[in-house]
C-alpha cells in the first residue's frame, strides 16, 4: 500500500470512529499530530478478539451466541444510522471488554454515506472473502447496509457452529458458493436459528431481511436488552485535517501567540446581520447557539476569569492561545455540553468575547453563559454597542 493510500485510509478510519460513540464500538478519545507522527488514543479493550474465543472454545452456547449477535446488530444499526458502513465485519474485528461485552473495531475499510455514487450504491469491492456478500463480488455496486448485514449472518453461523458456512481452498469455488448461498446447517441448529440465517444469508439483497425485521425476530428478541447511551450528533471533524497538515502550527507542542486575533470593522460587519452591529451584542439572545460581549479587561484576565467561572460548574478546560474549549463532565439531556470561547482584539484596549455552543443542549448553554457573564462583571462593561470612537480606532 502506498503512503498516500495509507494516509487516506487512516484519515477515513479516524473520521468514522469520531462519528460513532456507542457502547458496542471501540471508542476514539483523542487525536494529536506532530510534523512526523499521528497519535490516536483509543479505548483500552482487554478481552481480546472474539475470533480467539471461537478458536479456543469452539461453538458457543445458544445464549452466549445470541448475546454477541444482539450486541453486534446494535452496533451495526447505529453505525448505519450515522451513515457509516463497516465493510469488513468478522470475528477478528470484534473485541471483548473486561465484562465480556462485544466491541466492533477496525474501520479501516469503512465507507461513509458521502462515498455513495449517483446510483445510490458503493462500488469498491473489499472485505474478507469468507464474510463478503455476493453482491460485492459481482462488481455492479451494492448497498453498504445490506452487505454488512450478510457479514453479520456469517458471524452468527460461526458463533453457533464453530466453523464457516462458506469455505473452500479454491477462491472461485468459494465465490460460487457465496453467490448461491450454498451452505449446510449442522444438526444442532434449531428451526428458529435456521429460519433467521436463511433470511440473512439471502443472496438477493433486495429480499434480504433488514435490521428492523431482525429486531422483531422471535429467536433474536429472547433476553434482548436495547443499548442505553448518550447520543452525540454535533461531532466536529475539523481537527482531523489539522493533525495531518505538515506544518509547525499543528505540532503537539504549539507556539503560543502573544496577542489575541485582531478583528477589523469589515470582519465585524460580516458577522452581523446586514450593517446593523447592534445584534452582535443583543442582550436577548435566548435559544441562540452563540453570544458575544465586549470588555476593556486585558485578554489574559478575561481568559482567567472564564476559567475561574467554569471550573465550579464542572467543566473540563482546554486552552490554546486565546481560545478555550469547555466540556461539562456531567452529561445533560443532550449529552455533554461543549462550549467554545475565543477572545478577539477590536482595539488596543477593547476585546470582544465570543461564546459558542459546540454541542449539547441550547437551553443549558444559555443558562451557563448567563452565569458566566455575571461572574465576569459584564454589567460594568458598558460597551455593548460600538460607538463612533470604537469604529475609528
Contacts for 128-135: CB closer than 8 Å, 24+ residues apart = 128/88, 128/90, 129/171, 129/174, 129/175, 130/90, 130/154, 130/164, 130/166, 130/167, 130/174, 131/88, 131/89, 131/90, 131/155, 132/178, 133/178, 133/205, 134/178, 134/179, 134/181, 134/203, 135/205
- Which residue out of 52, 57, 77, 88 is catalytically annotated? 88
* Composition of the chain by helix, strand, coil, percent to 5: 40, 20, 40
Q: Biggest alpha carbon distance in the chain?
A: 88
Count of other CB atoms within 10 angstroms of residue 218 = 9
Residue 56, C-alpha cell as written in the block: 479456543
Phi, psi (rounded to 5 degrees) for 66: -65, -40
Count of other CB atoms within 10 angstroms of residue 287 = 8
Q: Give the helix/strand (H/E) hosting 356.
A: strand 350-359
d(CA 380, CA 296): 10
Contacts for 165-173: CB closer than 8 Å, 24+ residues apart = 165/201, 166/130, 167/130, 171/129
Q: Give the helix/strand (H/E) hosting 187.
A: none
Residue 195, C-alpha cell as written in the block: 429460519
Q: β-strands 111-112, 323-328: how paired?
A: unpaired
Helix (H, G, I), strand (E, B) or coil at 23: coil
* Whether 202 is catalytic: no
Closest among 325, 339, 351 to 268, alpha carbons compared: 351
Active-site annotation, residues: 88
Amino acid at each position: 500500500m502506498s503512503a498516500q493510500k495509507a494516509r487516506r485510509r487512516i484519515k477515513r478510519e479516524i473520521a468514522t470512529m469520531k462519528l460513532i460513540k456507542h457502547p458496542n464500538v471501540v471508542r476514539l478519545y483523542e487525536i494529536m499530530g506532530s510534523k512526523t507522527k499521528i497519535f490516536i488514543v483509543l479505548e483500552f479493550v482487554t478481552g481480546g478478539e472474539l475470533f480467539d474465543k471461537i478458536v479456543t472454545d469452539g461453538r458457543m452456547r445458544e445464549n452466549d451466541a445470541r448475546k454477541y449477535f444482539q450486541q453486534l446488530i446494535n452496533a451495526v444499526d447505529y453505525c448505519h444510522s450515522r451513515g457509516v458502513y463497516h465493510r469488513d465485519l468478522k470475528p477478528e474485528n470484534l473485541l471483548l471488554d473486561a465484562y465480556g461485552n462485544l466491541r466492533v473495531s477496525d474501520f479501516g475499510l469503512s465507507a461513509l454515506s458521502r462515498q455513495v455514487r449517483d446510483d445510490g450504491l458503493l462500488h469498491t469491492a473489499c472485505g474478507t472473502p469468507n464474510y463478503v456478500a455476493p453482491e460485492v463480488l459481482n462488481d455492479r455496486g451494492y448497498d453498504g447496509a445490506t452487505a454488512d448485514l450478510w457479514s453479520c449472518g456469517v458471524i452468527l453461523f460461526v458463533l453457533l457452529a464453530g466453523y464457516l458456512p462458506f469455505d473452500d481452498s479454491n477462491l472461485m469455488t468459494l465465490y460460487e458458493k457465496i453467490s448461491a448461498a450454498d451452505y449446510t446447517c449442522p444438526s444442532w441448529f434449531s428451526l428458529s436459528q435456521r429460519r433467521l440465517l436463511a433470511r440473512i444469508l439471502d443472496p438477493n439483497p433486495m429480499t434480504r431481511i433488514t435490521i428492523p425485521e431482525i429486531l422483531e425476530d422471535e429467536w433474536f428478541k429472547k433476553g434482548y436488552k436495547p443499548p442505553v447511551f448518550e447520543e452525540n450528533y454535533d461531532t466536529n471533524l475539523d481537527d482531523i485535517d489539522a493533525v495531518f497538515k505538515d506544518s509547525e502550527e499543528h505540532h503537539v507542542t504549539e507556539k503560543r501567540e502573544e496577542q489575541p486575533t485582531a478583528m477589523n470593522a469589515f470582519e465585524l460587519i460580516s458577522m452581523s446581520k446586514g450593517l446593523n452591529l447592534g445584534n452582535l451584542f443583543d442582550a436577548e439572545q435566548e435559544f441562540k447557539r452563540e453570544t458575544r460581549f465586549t470588555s476593556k479587561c486585558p485578554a489574559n484576565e478575561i481568559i482567567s476569569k472564564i476559567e475561574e467561572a467554569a471550573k465550579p460548574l464542572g467543566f473540563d478546560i482546554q486552552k490554546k492561545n486565546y481560545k478555550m474549549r469547555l466540556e461539562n463532565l456531567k452529561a445533560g439531556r443532550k449529552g455533554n455540553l461543549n462550549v467554545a470561547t475565543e477572545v478577539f482584539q477590536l482595539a488596543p484596549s477593547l476585546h470582544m468575547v465570543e461564546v459558542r455552543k459546540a454541542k449539547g443542549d441550547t437551553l443549558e448553554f444559555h443558562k451557563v453563559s448567563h452565569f458566566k457573564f455575571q461572574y465576569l462583571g459584564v454589567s460594568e462593561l458598558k460597551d455593548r454597542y460600538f460607538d463612533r470612537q470604537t469604529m475609528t480606532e
